[in-house]
Structure formats: structure tokens, C-alpha cells
Structure 1
Amino acid sequence: MMVTRVHQPFRLLITDDNRSFRETLREILEDRPWLDLMEAESGEEAVELVRQVRVDIVLLDMHMHVMTGLDTLRVLKSLDAIRPCILITSDANDELRRHARDANAFSVLRKPVPRQELTSVVTNALISAYQITDPDVGLQ
């Protein structure tokens, strides 16, 4: 499926119950003109936001209260299977990676996430999901 975007950045939702970590991710990604950043502090808030506004890609902390990142990912994928979701966790073991793969996560990143790895995975997720050659294409 080819997605055509005109003059709109991709909307990325950062979901983590730790405000400091959300701010760190925002600092890493905020200088990308092809991203419009949003934040949620829980899985429940992320699901509610996705139901209200267009969200193109989601970063999810694994360990949040009530809904884990994996639980949230499953709900988000049921709403839109194309939207890439990336799990971020301090304990990226084989079992979690298997569960994430089964839930169609785009990737699982280990905390602390190196700047280059985060930007590369986000870029690759957008390219893969929306069949573009470069995220800047969405702004032209």
C-alpha cells in the first residue's frame, strides 16, 4: 500500500511513565523536521490519543503501570496494523523479543537507547510502514 503525504510531518507518540525519559527522547528527535512529537505518560493515554488524532508511529516503554508497553502495542495494532510501534525496555530478553515479534512490534530497543540507533530505527520504521524512500518526502 502506497501512502501519499503532502506537507505533513509524521506524528510520533512517545509513551513512557517516566517524564525524564520522555524528555530525553524528545531532545533526540525534536530537530527532525519530518516529525511532529506528542507524549503520553501511560498506555491508556496513548490508546486514547490514537483514537482521537492521527498518529503515525509510536515509541512505547515496556514497563508502565496498568498497561505494559506490550499490552498497549497489541491494542494499537488492533486499531491500525500499519502503524509501526517500537518497544523500549531495560530488559530486552529473548522472551520479550519473541512476544514483541508475535505482536508485530517493529523493533525492541534496549535502554539507554543510543541516539543514532533511535533515529535510525524510527527512520527505518517510517520507510518500511509508509513505503517512502526518505521521511523528508512527506514534507514536500
Structure 2
Amino acid sequence: MMVVRIDRPFRLLITDDSNSFRATLREVLEERPYLELLEAESGEQAVEVVREVRIDIVLLDMHMHIMTGLDTLKVMKQLDAIRPCILITSDATEELKRDAREAHAFSVLRKPVPRRDLVTTISDALISAYDVSDPASGLPENRMRPDHGSLC
């Protein structure tokens, strides 16, 4: 079992070719003090960021130009098999879910993603990958609180 000492926020890379969707995700996640957010607008740019900066978790849009989210996921898993990657797509077909499982995606979320599902999935991925009981632990005044309603 790997034990990770948390001395900084988890670095989450938002990867989507839509500036407005990246902004929406950032708006939902930036209030989480246990996350440091970075952005990439393509799979290629995401791979560059991962090579330069220690990224703990990645959100990947499935449908991007040149390099799909699935292609990006495969490259990222070669670089670091532990880092959880979550695919976000508007068409979560059974075939896509199977391909994502085979590529070791942590999860596939369907757009529009309810805020609560997004936050819960990220939290579950961090707990699973880094053996932490709660990503917000140690930050009692900023404990994760459920988000209801809004979609992103």
C-alpha cells in the first residue's frame, strides 16, 4: 500500500478544447481548497503539462481535435500508471465505457455532469489512488460539502 504525505493541494488538470466548458469546470472546482487547478486545451498540451509538472488527477474531454481523450489517457497512463484520469463525454456508449476501462480510466462521466457527481468522482479517485481518507482532511473549515442542482 502506498502512503502519500499531503503537503500541498492535489493538482488537477482540466483538459477540454472548449474554453467555456473549462471555465465551468474551474468555477465548480476552484472553491475546493484541496485542489490546485491547471488547464489544457488539447490532448497534446495536456501531455506536455504532465511531463513538466506533477499532476495528481486529470479530467479529459473525450472529443478533442487531433488527440482524443482516450488517446491522451493512454499516453498519460504510460507516463504514470497511478494518476487517475476521468473522461467526460456527451456520448457515454457501452463501447466507449469498455474502451475507457481497458485504458484504465477511473471513470466516465456524461455531460452535462451534475456538480455533486463531479466532486464525488474526483474525491473517490484521489482516495483510491493516493490512499487518503478524505482529500479535504486536515482542512476542517473547508470540508467538502455536497453540491446539489447545477450541471456543468
- What's the TM-score bracket when you normalise by the shorter of the two chains? over 0.9
TM-score, normalised via structure 1 length? 0.96
CA distance in 1, matches of 2:48, 2:100: 21
> Structure 1, unaligned stretches of length 5 or more?
none
| Secondary structure, aligned partner of 1:8 | coil
CA distance in 2, matches of 1:57, 1:128: 11
> Structure 2, unaligned stretches of length 5 or more?
141-152
The answer to whether the 8 Å contact 2:13/2:57 transfers is: yes
Task: Give how far 1:7 is off.
Answer: 2.3
Check if 1:4 corresponds to 2:4.
yes
Residue equivalent to 1:53: 53
| Secondary structure, aligned partner of 1:4 | coil
Residue equivalent to 1:123: 123
CA distance in 2, matches of 1:4, 1:48: 24
TM-score, normalised via structure 2 length? 0.89
Q: 1:6 to 1:139 in 2, by over 3 A?
A: farther
Highest relative contact order (Cα 8 Å, sep 6+), 1 or 2?
1
Which digits, 9 at most, give the CA deviation of each residue in 1:95-137, with x for residues without a partner? 0000000000000000010000000000000000001101124
Residue equivalent to 2:34: 34
Task: Give how far 1:74 is off.
Answer: 0.2
Check if 1:99 corresponds to 2:61.
no
**Which amino acid in structure 1 is aligned with residue 70 of structure 2?**
L
CA distance in 1, matches of 2:105, 2:20: 24
**Which amino acid in structure 2 is aligned with residue 77 of structure 1?**
K
- Structure 1 residue ranges (4+ consecutive) displaced by more than 3 angstroms after TM superposition: 137-140
| Secondary structure, aligned partner of 1:104 | coil
**Which amino acid in structure 2 is aligned with residue 111 of structure 1?**
K
Q: 1:124 to 1:6 in 2, by over 3 A?
A: closer
The answer to whether the 8 Å contact 2:16/2:60 transfers is: yes
**Which amino acid in structure 2 is aligned with residue 116 of structure 1?**
R
Q: Among the aligned pairs, what percent are the same residue?
A: 71
Q: Which has the higher helix share?
A: 1
Residue equivalent to 2:147: none
Number of residue equivalences: 140
- Return the index of the structure with the highest Cα Rg: 2
